Amino acid sequence: MSVLAGLKVVELSNEYCAFAGKLLGDMGADVVLVEPPGGDPSRTYPPFFRDEEDREKSLYFWHYNTSKRGVVLDLDDADDLARLKALILEADILVESEPVSRLSALGLDYEQTHADNPGLIHVALTPYGRKEPMSDLPQTDLTLMAAGGPPWNCGYDDHLLPPVRGWGNQGYHTGCHFAVMSMFTALLARLQTGRGQFIDISMTAALNVTTEAGSYSWLINQTTVERQTGRHAATQPTGETQMRCADGRWVNTGVPPRFPAEFAKLLNWMADLGLVESFPEAVFLEMGANWQGPFDLSQIGTDDTITAIFMAGREGLQTIAATVSAQDFFEGCQSAGLAVGVINSPEEALEDPHFIAHGMKVPVRHEELDETVIYPGAPFVLPAAPWRISRPAPKVGEHNEEIFAIYSGQESP
């Protein structure tokens, strides 16, 4: 049984909260996506299935709306609004990102939903939280991210280049992660009390607490981190950690060797590759490998020997990188106990043996196209409560009849 089997979720379509609905749907909840006439605007977002621009073929919409049923309701129409209210009356969870004014005009603010359905967990995911009027201003992932902090941390050593907003609507994702954590927390509370509650999530606040040292350096001693190429923003400049390998692809070297065993393995690897003779600093690697007692990293820069050994470690990695492919560098370093990563594009990752072994390619049947499409798999799996994409994203109004026959008193055809 899926972990959320039997749970009824109503989601008012909005790109801010779509991912939360998908996460719940893939964990087994019965998510009903309520779209406006013509469908949600995100149906027009590229990319499209075989580049065929069509509101039923947006791969963006497909991804964020798996495992949901879909209805179209015109909330400015009294009958349709009544249908929505009937849905909410039966629901365990309402997820929405509506402007405050819109919600109260519809009679759907929490006072009302709670009065009608005391067990309801009403989740509002908005730019600044439900009480802040700025939440009703138009925003995109980019502007939310800029306000919330991540881009300040992200970019290049060259500060003439702009800060970078990480790719792929991660600002929306971060808000949705907190939405799902909140829903589970409220579900567990409801098991004890029988009562639902209102959950007010601020997307910019979610980003504000998702910047690691960016926030805590300021909170602790009012220092400001500065962005650096391919590594953590920091209050003081740190050494580079990205290297380009012989095949032109990049790796992140993480923390360079700092333990004797790591220097020993690095030296052996260089010997295997026949690189030791042309690497004069090999002598320092050997000293590192034979180091007795603690290797005091705080002496880097002051103690000449320790500095030379540490630098030789970094240069040794560079020498190897110039000789081997990024994938070989990754696997070789990891075999030497160094936490190094190959920098994959998303599709390179999807084709990587690790992700294939973890079942991250999930086939989903699209009957209407007579096609099977590969989707990314589960972020995590509960072995006793399987994760599953139970259906592809709904077509516009696909489930109106199925869902509303019972409310309108009409028989389903």
Partner 1 sequence: MTGTALGKYRICDFTGQLAGAGATKWLAAFGAEVIRIEDPTRQGRWDILRGNPPFKDERTGIDMGGAFNNHNTDKLGITLNLKTEKGKTLLRELIAISDAVTENFAAGVLERWGFSFDAMREIKPDIIYVSNCGFGYTGPYAPFKTWGPIVQAVSGLTHTSALPGQPPAGWGYSYMDHTGAYYMAMAILAALYHRERTGEGQWVDLACTDSALTLNGPALLDWTVNGRGLTEDGAVNANRSQFQRMAPHGIYPCKGDDDWVAIACQDDAQWHALAMLIGEGWTDAFQNVEARLSDQDVLDAHLGAWTASRNKFDLQSRLRELRIPVSAVQKPGERIDEDPTTEAFGLWPEVTHSAIGNIRVDGQPVHFSETDWDSRQGAPCLGEHTEDVLTRLLGRTPEDVAALRQEGVI
- Measured in whole angstroms, how far is the alpha carbon of residue 39 from the centre of its chain? 25
Among 241, 256, 310, 324, binds partner 1 (CB under 8 A): 241
Among 193, 290, 305, 408, binds partner 1 (CB under 8 A): 193
Binding residues among 203-232 for partner 1 as defined by CB under 8 A: 203-206, 208-225, 227-232
Report how far residue 242's alpha carbon sits from residue 220's, in angstroms, rounded to the nearest whole number: 29
Binding residues among 289-318 for partner 1 as defined by CB under 8 A: none
Q: How far is the CB of 405 from partner 1 (least distance, A)?
A: 29
Residues 6+ away with beta carbon under 8 Å from 332: 269, 320, 324
Nearest Cα neighbor of 127 from 114, 118, 136 is 136
Binding residues among 254-283 for partner 1 as defined by CB under 8 A: 254-255
Nearest Cα neighbor of 311 from 300, 321, 319, 302 is 300
Residue 244 interacts with partner 1 (CB under 8 A)?
yes
Among 36, 74, 81, 152, binds partner 1 (CB under 8 A): 152
CA dihedral in degrees (404, 407, 408, 410; nearest 10)? 80
Binding residues among 121-150 for partner 1 as defined by CB under 8 A: 128-129, 131-132, 134, 137-140, 142-150
Binding residues among 25-64 for partner 1 as defined by CB under 8 A: 27, 41-42, 44-47, 49-51, 59-60, 62-64
Binding residues among 87-116 for partner 1 as defined by CB under 8 A: 110
Identify which range of 90-98, 175-183, 264-272, 317-325 contacts partner 1 by CB under 8 A.
175-183
- Residue nearer to partner 1 on the CB measure, 340 or 403: 340
Among 17, 34, 103, 199, binds partner 1 (CB under 8 A): 199
Q: Cβ distance 66 to 25 under 8 Å? A: yes
Both ends of the chain: CA-CA distance in Å? 30
- Residues touching partner 1, count (CB under 8 A): 154
Among 184, 259, 291, 407, binds partner 1 (CB under 8 A): 184
For helices 304-321 and 282-289, give the axis angle rounded to 10 degrees.
120
- Residue nearer to partner 1 on the CB measure, 88 or 199: 199
Q: How far is the CB of 68 from partner 1 (least distance, A)?
A: 14
Q: How far is the CB of 66 from partner 1 (least distance, A)?
A: 9
Binding residues among 392-411 for partner 1 as defined by CB under 8 A: none
- Residue nearer to partner 1 on the CB measure, 63 or 85: 63
Among 75, 84, 233, 245, binds partner 1 (CB under 8 A): 233
